[in-house]
Amino acid sequence: MSVLIGDLMAMAETQEWRARDAAWWRGLTRKRRGEMAEAAFLHKASRLGFGVAKPWGDSDPYDLIVDSGRRLWRVQVKSAYRSGEYGGYTFHAHGNENKNVYSLKDIDVLVAYIVPEDLWYVVPVSVFRRIKSMKLFPVSRRRRSKFEVYREGWQFFEKKRSWRR
């Protein structure tokens, strides 16, 4: 199955994106899901007025670079398309090959995309000093996540300096 970036952009503009996402994403490989999440991020960040660049190759720990007009941010994009117990979505703060937690020398921001809800969490890497993963509960009435403060936190890219280290 082949999907063009233009197709993704068109789907992102309509509710069709949310209507067919879970079953569609489930059929993709892990690598393709990552590529689609990066494309969705590119679309979202561009619409918000940020410059976005894709580094050559995939050897760096970050997926994209965001230009806020004040600085460049190294961004790692993660996605989840299905929830677990109590409606929670788990995001790991490390790569698939390397189980070392991301640090300030690797990335500036981890962006977590919850596909079914079309929600974004913009989380500074400093949050991951003591944890390896985070669980997000965007629609659960039973559970709330301490990471809710980062939901749709696009304003963090506009800060002059990076987050506290």
**Contact in structure between 83 and 77 (CB atoms under 8 Å):** no
Q: State the pLDDT at residue 130.
A: 79
Average pLDDT score, the chain: 83
Write the CB contacts of 92 (distance below 8 Å, at least 6 apart in sequence).
Answer: 78, 132, 133
- Which of 98, 83, 92 is CA-nearest to residue 110? 92
Fold type of domain 5-158? Trna Endonuclease; Chain: A, domain 1 (3.40.1350)
pLDDT tens digit string along 106-149?
999 999 999 988 999 999 998 887 788 899 988 866 667 788 99
Paired with 111 in beta bridges are 77, 122
Please give the angle made by the CA atoms of 114, 117 and 120, to the nearest 5 degrees: 45
Written as six digits, the tokens of 70 are 């004040």
Q: What is the reported pTM? A: 0.81
Residue 164 φ then ψ, to 5°: -55, 140
pLDDT tens digit string along 66-87?
999 989 999 999 999 888 878 8
Bridge-based pairing of strands 89-92 and 72-80 is unpaired
Mean pLDDT on 11-35 = 70
Cα-based distances in Å from 159 to 47, 69, 76, 138, 163:
18, 10, 18, 25, 8
Half-sphere exposure of 60 (CA within 13 A, CB side): 16
pLDDT band at 6 (very low <50, low <70, confident <90, very high): low
pLDDT band at 161 (very low <50, low <70, confident <90, very high): very low
